[in-house]
Amino acid sequence: MTTTDTTYPLQFELTPTPAARADAEREAMLADPGFGKYFTDHMVQIEWTVDEGWHDAAVVPYGPLSLDPAASVFHYAQEIFEGIKAYRHADGSVWTFRPDANGHRLQRSAERLALPKLAVEDFVESLKQLVAVDEKWVPSADETSLYLRPFMIATESFLGVRAAHRVGYYVIASPAGAYFTGGVAPVSIWLSTTYSRAGKGGTGAAKTGGNYAASLLPQEEAYQHGCSQVLFLNSTDGAYIEELGGMNVVLVYRDGTIVTPDSDSILEGITRDSILQLAEDRGHRVERRRVSIDEWRDGVASGDIVEVFACGTAAVVVPIAELKGDGVSIVSPVAGPDSLTLSLRAELTDIQYGRRPDRHGWLTRLDA
Ligand code: PLP
Ligand code: COI
């Protein structure tokens, strides 16, 4: 096994970029960031080799990586990533949300992809280091953030099929507005009955590029049908709901019970976990269990299911208006301003942006 748990805090060396964007250029990007279009002036990189473990931690100018064409990530997709945001508070300080949870998830993904584990404290430090130098890139307009994308790739030049002996970890950052162009407007979802995202014993619970590669063709189908995301069912019999291409799914019942799929082939979303905690705090019953597509259809038809929403770091919380597929149309009630969906979304974002007390200790300051 090639996994290594570093026990020392890494020291980062900074090489400032000679080509930082001018204030006016950066401000123009921050004024209309979209999602994943622009990147900040610097990035983090850390090397790992089987002999030396993690070393050479650095913050360097943002720019292309130079990799040998035989680097195994290109051939065998030994890759994992994370997604986490930095939020600007009203007093100008910059915070992130539950970074330990992302750090632990990166370790679980590393384990499944036979990549080395980065210590959680080094993961959190890597975010702090990047935000310290690119702090001006954290936007301050409502609902904007700096999206941080840590990732780890197999960089060894070797075509034999085994876990790489050389690995790189990087963090890049991109100012972000709403993931969906409609903001919190309800979205339509395409139900894929042809393709699975992940199989039993596969990599579905890991945040690895291959899962997203598998989602791209059905995602194109979704766009062709006017839908913004694709919903996957379990691969064995297609009877149970798994998750969307890049978000988890939650159903709200009339009696206040909140239900979300439990499966070992979906990503354990940190947004979902936080939303469910907030709902539990309010006295809602929360059930993590198998949810069939029939339960969704019948529940909406009978009026027992009153809201359905998707959630994830990039998209936050978005109501689902309709689930469409071959011969399928399940139209959920519209989540109005008083809906549980929007009220939980507001509570979560209020905590993230420092507008409400952080009673669970979820925030970590990044710029100090
Ligand atoms: N499921 C998938 C496939 C995702 O890509 C994401 C986004 O990261 C999620 C769920 C939600 O996870 P989180 O809330 O931790 O961002
Ligand atoms: C995230 O929410 O961080 C993701 O990785 C999902 C992706 C669709 C952007």
Nearest ligand, measured from the Cα of 312: 1
* Same domain, residue pair 34 and 122: yes
- Give the pocket of ligand 2 (CB within 6 Å): 83, 246, 312-314
DSSP 215-243: HHHHHHHHHHTT-SEEEEEPTTTS-BEEE
- Per-residue pLDDT averaged across 250-270, rounded? 97
Least confident segment among 5-14, 114-123, 148-157: 5-14
The answer to whether residues 103 and 196 belong to one domain is no
Gap between the Cα atoms of 287 and 261, Å rounded: 8
Query: Does 159 fall in a domain?
Result: yes
User: What is the extent of the structural domain holding 272?
Assistant: 187-352
Domain for residue 74, yes or no? yes
Query: Mean of the pLDDT values across residues 266-290?
Result: 98
List the structure tokens of 233. Answer: 């069912």
Per-residue pLDDT tens for 153-202?
999 999 999 999 999 999 999 999 988 888 788 999 999 999 999 999 99
Residues 98 and 36 in one domain: yes
If you measure from the C-alpha of residue 303 to the centroid of ligand 2, how many angstroms do you get, rounded to a whole number? 31
Q: 246 alpha carbon to ligand 1 midpoint, in Å?
A: 5
CATH number where 202 lies: 3.20.10.10
Residue 368: its pLDDT value, please?
Answer: 83
Same domain? For 198 and 271 the reply is yes
Distance (Å) from CA 26 to ligand 1 centroid:
28
What's the number of domains the chain is made of? Answer: 2
In a domain, 364, yes or no: no
Ligand 2 atom nearest the C-alpha of 312 is: 2
Closest by CA to 261, choosing from 297, 232, 283, is 232
Claim to verify: residue 40 and residue 120 sit in the same structural domain: yes
Q: How far is the CA of 268 from the centre of ligand 1 (A)?
A: 7
Q: What is the pTM of this model?
A: 0.96
Among the atoms of ligand 2, which is closest to the Cα of residue 149? 3
List all residues whose CB is within 6 A of at least one atom of ligand 1.
Answer: 83, 243, 246-248, 267, 269-272, 312-313
Q: Quick one: 249 and 329 in the same domain? A: yes
Q: Rounded to the nearest whole angstrom, what is the distance from the C-alpha of residue 10 to the centroid of ligand 2?
A: 27
Judge whether 366 lies within some domain.
Answer: no
pLDDT tens for residues 26-40?
A: 999 999 999 999 999
| DSSP one-letter string for 94-142 | EEEE-HHHHHHHHHHHHHHTT-PBPPHHHHHHHHHHHHHHSGGGS--ST
